[in-house]
Amino acid sequence: MTTAMVGMEGSIAVAEAVKLANADVVAAYPITPQTHIVESLAELVANGDLDAEYIPVESEHSAMSACLGASAVGARTFTATAGQGLELMHEVLYVASAMRLPVIMVVANRALSGPLNVWGDHSDAMAVRDCGWIQMFAENGQQAHDLTTCAFRIGEDPKVLFPVMVHIDGFHLSHVVEPVCLLKKEQVQRFLPPYNHPYALNPDKPSSMGAFAGPNLYSEVKKAQDFALWATKPAILRAWSQFGKITGRYYQPVEHYQSENAKVLLLTMGSFSETAMSAVDEMRARGKDVGLLRLRLWRPFPFEEIYEAVRNAEILIVLDRCISFGGPGGPVSSEIKAALYPRQRRPKIVSFVG
């Protein structure tokens, strides 16, 4: 069902997915460690392998602003960033989700200053968790390729119309060469219909987007936006199911590894999940009753899947990749505690920041 495996960086695997999706517009500003994604896309456009408008902008804020305009007129739109660049985009991220513009963005997660650090952690991802975007995490180059493709299908679904972030760990995924089964063009054509935004701006039918609203109306709009984001989950599951039927690779909001009836569970996100699998294997070989949960879908948060995954566990260890300053440990741990609080039976939760 798939092509032969090819060795490539995670960044290149992402660019290949964007090419296969036949994106119309790429607005880009280079920043370590995502630069290889947009460099590769620039080459694909220059060589005629991708028929797209490539917009080299002066900053990440401008990149997302250009994406707003492109998506609003009905163009399939992509960008990528990391760390400080994601923070420079911050105010515009809220506009993309509020206007229901399905911009697709891959974030090569990077530590935030100070001190200056270009290596990967999840502080940038957690800083934007409340911006109203769908967010999912990849563990390896194959998943980076697959989930980027899925992001177009999910975000552009007329019942969704939300921007989507795919998180890949900086350097651990973006710069590591791994074997990847690239999707075939005919597979993507079966999976990804042409983008047709039902409310695209049209000069023949002038309209306004994002106009002024007072406090009363603003509250109603934000409540509607939150309701709509929660309502995207069935479409996400449908897209992953159809992708699995076409490729044989299935994705779930919470994925398990040797977790059935394990009394001690570790919960991870991103590339450290594969290291955790090896650790679980070693401990299982020594007779330790441990298992692993991998959190794939971060927004909308998969409450029911978390409930089901931990119902038989006695201890749940949550590995965070950043600190919630002044808060109770890490942000993922805080979310898990809040999610499980209404349940009478819940495991002891241990927060670990690494």
Mean pLDDT of 327-351: 93
Mean pLDDT of 199-221: 91
Task: Return the pLDDT at 231.
Answer: 98
Cα separation values, 50 from 15, 40, 43, 271, Å: 10, 11, 9, 29
Q: What's the chain's average pLDDT? A: 96
Choose the weakest-confidence range: 142-156, 197-211, 292-306: 197-211
pLDDT at 2 over 80: no
HEC string for 303-340 = HHHHHHHHCCCCEEEEEECCCCCCCCCCHHHHHHHHHH
Report the percentage of the chain scoring pLDDT > 90: 95
Report the percentage of the chain scoring pLDDT > 70: 99
Residue-wise pLDDT for 23-63, tens only, equals 999 999 999 999 999 999 999 999 999 999 999 999 999 99
pLDDT at 78 over 90: yes
Residue-wise pLDDT for 263-306, tens only, equals 999 999 999 999 999 999 999 999 999 999 999 999 999 999 99
CB of 124 within 8 A of CB of 110? Answer: yes
Alpha helices in the chain (DSSP H): 10-20, 35-46, 60-72, 83-88, 90-98, 123-127, 141-156, 185-191, 215-230, 233-247, 272-285, 303-310, 331-340
Mean pLDDT of 160-179: 98
Amino acid, res. 133: W
Q: What pTM was computed for the model?
A: 0.97
Task: Return the pLDDT at 9.
Answer: 97
Mean pLDDT of 70-92: 98
How many angstroms separate the CA atoms of 11 and 21, rounded?
A: 16
Mean pLDDT of 63-91: 98
Tell me the pairing of strands 297-299 and 134-137: antiparallel
Mean pLDDT of 256-264: 94
Task: Return the pLDDT at 209.
Answer: 82
pLDDT at 151 over 70: yes
Task: Return the pLDDT at 208.
Answer: 85
Q: Kindly state the tokens that stand for 249.
A: 């690779």
Choose the weakest-confidence range: 2-6, 18-22, 83-87, 347-351: 2-6
Q: What is the DSSP string of 90-155?
A: HHHHHHHHHTT---EEEEEE-PPSSS---S--SHHHHHTTTSS-EEEE--SHHHHHHHHHHHHHHH
Task: Return the pLDDT at 210.
Answer: 82
pLDDT at 1 over 60: no
Task: Return the pLDDT at 328.
Answer: 85
